[in-house]
Structure 1
């Protein structure tokens, strides 16, 4: 095992390959199909080599996460925010497959990642790659923007990341349609607060943030 998270573990599987395995044993074949679909439409998702039940065999990606880049180069916060915005703009051009479930927040036919934040972008020698498609759904691009906005504004930041939030968030919002995303904030906030891994403190921050932003409409 080379990495472990709340949801999955990552294992070496030979040169240039890893296995992503669901901790709870659920099938990851839908997630694998989403990544294949995204790649077919030119979006930088990892290459899937095989999928079987709780396991996805995929290419091994080398490089730091965007979160690590933010921590090590705080002077480039605006650049990092613009990168997140550009990735969501690219994704908004990808049609969702008909079998993908609808996301909260209203109708739409675009592929949504619904968890595209700095920890889920790897900065590889071949460019940024977006990982962890477990929450992907079908809907309006504004819902995806709202998810990223919510995480950037409310997720806890340790001492090494103090001062990054405002710069990243400001540049991100300049590159997206914040007005269209704002109406999706209540629905995506409800979904995030339902996550058992979110602390009570963060849930309270989410509620306060959404109340402030929706008051502006």
Structure 2
């Protein structure tokens, strides 16, 4: 499919604006978006704020265009503070946790996003919208919380986007609000991130430090 104007480039995909209020998300290294689209449609039907999926074929997703900045963009522009951002992210985790399991999934499992962080939440006109469901699957909600916390800790220890100190404050505020136990499956989250091909060698080398930061802040929020 012919693309329009390039809107953004992530670690795995490029997003193009189409001329009818939609976007084309194309994975640069191919793949099959069928499962991603199916999960997005399911959670959307359950009431979670996600972009409407219009077409899913091969490595391409055509979706509703959400106008507005990402949470990360709003932080960098000084338009969003730490308590508000942490509350948004914790609320999305709570809403995901509250959805019924998908048909055929284990009763104790839920849809987990596994990449839920401020750069994957758009602040649209109707409120926050959760994007980028590439890693989503059926699993334990505590794993989703652990991955989110670890990613935020990685931002802090690597000073990504210049958000070292702010990233640590955000992590602490998130852990004070999020449902579930973010450290129970933290080792699993670290193992998953360690083999993530989008992480640099330096980022992989600091995963244990990031995990320690999560444990430190979690201890400070629990009696």
Structure 2 length-normalised TM: 0.85
Structure 1 residues 150-175: Cα deviation after superposition (integer angstroms, max 9, x where no partner): 01111333464343113211211111
> What's the secondary structure of 1:153's corresponding residue?
helix
Which protein, 1 or 2, shows the higher relative CO under an 8 Å CA cutoff with sep ≥ 6? 1
- Tell me which of 56, 78, 87 is aligned to 1:73: 78
Q: Which residue number corresponds to residue 152 of structure 2?
A: 152
Q: Which residue number corresponds to residue 120 of structure 2?
A: 120
Gaps of 5+ in 2: 1-5
CA contact (8 A) 2:55 2:62 kept: yes
How has the CA–CA distance of structure 1 residues 61 and 96 changed in structure 2, closer, same or farther, with 3 Å as cutoff?
same
Gaps of 5+ in 1: none
CA contact (8 A) 2:71 2:80 kept: no
Structure 1 residues 33-79: Cα deviation after superposition (integer angstroms, max 9, x where no partner): 11101100100111101212221111111111101112222871121
CA distance in 1, matches of 2:43, 2:164: 33
CA distance in 2, matches of 1:116, 1:168: 14
CA distance in 2, matches of 1:149, 1:88: 11
Of 119-128 and 73-82, deviating more is: 73-82
CA distance in 2, matches of 1:134, 1:159: 23
What is the aligned residue count?
210
- Tell me which of 168, 171, 174 is aligned to 2:170: 168
Structure 1 length-normalised TM: 0.87
CA distance in 2, matches of 1:209, 1:56: 33
CA distance in 2, matches of 1:95, 1:24: 33
CA distance in 2, matches of 1:209, 1:62: 32
Q: Which residue number corresponds to residue 187 of structure 1?
A: 188
Of 161-170 and 22-31, deviating more is: 161-170
CA distance in 2, matches of 1:49, 1:72: 31
How has the CA–CA distance of structure 1 residues 35 and 166 changed in structure 2, closer, same or farther, with 3 Å as cutoff?
same
CA distance in 1, matches of 2:212, 2:82: 26
CA contact (8 A) 2:117 2:151 kept: yes
